């Protein structure tokens, strides 16, 4: 995976002169990323249907990280996702805006596939328990960061209270077992 001069992740290395995204307006870029994301989603579900493990992508793979970057770009450009998530979860829009800014617009973090999938489930109205743990974790981590803690310390303290990594792993493991249990 390569990053072009405009910051887009692409499958081919190039100098930026021939980047497919270079000459697009913001709305065209957003549409292209949504189309790319929809194509990736179709590929993901096709892989699941063909017997691949639940989720179709290893969340640490280059493909998953590239997919997360595309989804992150879509979320950054969305003006209505926090309103939808607020209506679904009951969380204040202001808190969701803080989480969104912290996760998706923070140069400290690389795109994370699991977090992208969590935000996507939340905005589509089909959250799982781990997604609520994610929201609680991020709000607590932000609180620690605002008190001057480093990311590492804030994350550690928030993880003790709301362990998103454990919750999402347990959900994935449970999902895999459920899907595999129907096989003869």
Pick from 114, 107, 117, 102: nearest CA to 154: 102
How many other C-beta atoms are found inside a 10 Å radius of the C-beta of residue 121?
A: 17
Structural domain including 138 reads: 2-180
pLDDT tens-digit profile of 13-68? 555 556 665 555 555 555 555 455 555 555 544 443 333 333 455 666 777 778 78
Give 56-100 pLDDT, tens digit per residue: 556 667 777 787 888 888 898 988 999 999 999 999 999 999 999
Structure-token match 């799982």, residue found: 128
| Number of domains comprising the chain | 1
pLDDT digits (tens, 9 = 90+) for 126-141: 999 999 999 999 999 9
Residue 155 scores a pLDDT above 60 = yes
Tell me if the pTM is above 0.85.
Answer: no
Lookup: tokens for 11: 């499958």
How far is Cα 165 from Cα 148, in angstroms, rounded to an integer?
23
d(CA 99, CA 161): 17
């Amino acid at each position: 995976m390569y990053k072009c001069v405009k910051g887009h992740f692409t499958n081919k290395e190039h100098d930026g002169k021939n980047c497919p995204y270079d000459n697009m307006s913001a709305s065209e870029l957003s549409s292209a990323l949504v189309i790319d994301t929809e194509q990736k989603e179709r590929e993901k579900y096709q892989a699941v249907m063909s017997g691949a493990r639940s989720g179709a992508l290893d969340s640490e793979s280059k493909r998953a990280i590239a997919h997360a970057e595309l989804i992150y770009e879509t979320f950054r450009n969305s003006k209505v996702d926090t309103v939808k998530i607020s209506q679904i979860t009951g969380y204040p829009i202001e808190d969701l805006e803080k989480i969104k800014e912290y996760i998706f617009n923070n140069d400290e973090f690389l795109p994370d596939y699991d977090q992208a999938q969590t935000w996507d489930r939340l905005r589509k109205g089909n959250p799982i328990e781990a997604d609520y743990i994610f929201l609680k974790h991020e709000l607590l981590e932000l609180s620690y960061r605002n008190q001057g803690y480093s990311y590492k310390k804030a994350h550690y303290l928030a993880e003790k209270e709301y362990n998103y990594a454990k919750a999402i792993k347990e959900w994935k493991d449970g999902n895999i077992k459920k899907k595999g249990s129907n096989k003869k």
